[in-house]
Amino acid sequence: MKDDEAATAVRVAAGDSVFNRILCVWLFFSALSVSAGQAQCMNTVFAAGEKIRFDVYFKWGVLMTKAGEASITVEDSQREDVPVWKTVLLARTIGMTDKLFKVRDTIDTYITKESPRILYSSKQANEGGHYLHDELDFATDGMQTCVHSFRRSASAVKIDTVLTGNDCVLDMLGAVFYARSIDWTKTVQGVQYPLQVAMGRDLINLSYRYEGQQIVERDSVKYRTRLFIIDVYDKAFTQSNEAMELWIGDDENHFPVKMHAKLKIGAVEAYYNSSENLRYPPSCRVVMPTY
């Protein structure tokens, strides 16, 4: 495809709010953990010091161009005198995409160590020269979760509201950790896991559907994975059913290996690049025997 056609595709996609959400959070490349008292939404398969890196691509027809890079790290911290894991997602555009629509996003999510649940989430977004700062404060009362959602730009407050949801409400990074927390030994193909994600003024309804084991190949490297189909009920997705596909590494770390997300224009794909300080030795990579 010609360079001008590729540039047009990226410009169109950059105008799609979901492209920004997925590219930067890659929303839901989804996978780690969340809250507990809230029906044990999350379990932890990670440890302090973990870092996972991803490559993000934009697809439009036969075009597939590398659009960004992302990383997720986990570290020990405290919030309001409570021991927590601080999970940090960094996302940036690169190459042609960076020239057309520069993105520099950071998401910090604080997860309690005891009965894991989200306490607080902060997103700093610098996208196409526009700055936004989002804060989400989580509080759980029985089977309900309340989220104080606050957003400001460089010049004004944009959102200041309270969202009330069910027992499993996450932020975007929490949704990423969610798939990693699912106990595959207690699930069968076709089972669904509904949840809600707080974003701005809205609670977005998602549903993970387990589809069994698959082999994923990337750059001549194969991984054993578990496939989840994600239905996303949000206006930014023209197709709610099967809006995303998520492949999680089939070992004790449950780290994301691949994600595919359909957009209004084209699609986004994200691939595992590398990692360090995983809690368990990684074993989902397929190693062919040598003779």
Q: What is the pTM of this model?
A: 0.82
pLDDT tens digits, one per residue of 122-153: 999 998 889 999 999 999 876 789 999 999 99
**246 half-sphere exposure, CB direction, 13 A CA radius:** 29
Q: What is the rounded distance in angstroms from the CA atom of residue 144 to the CA atom of residue 136?
A: 16
Close Cβ partners of 14 (under 8 Å, ≥ 6 residues apart): 20, 97, 100, 101, 128
- How far apart are the C-alpha atoms of 280 and 274, rounded to whole Å? 15
Q: Indicate the angle between helix axes 3-14 and 17-25, nearest 10 degrees.
A: 90
Q: What is the pLDDT along the chain (291 residues), one digit of tens a residue?
A: 444 555 555 554 544 444 444 443 344 443 333 332 233 465 567 788 999 999 999 888 888 899 999 998 999 999 989 999 998 999 999 998 898 889 899 999 998 888 778 899 999 999 888 999 999 999 987 678 999 999 999 999 999 999 999 877 888 777 766 777 777 777 889 888 888 889 889 998 888 889 999 999 998 899 999 999 988 877 655 556 777 899 999 999 999 999 898 877 888 899 999 999 999 999 999 987 666
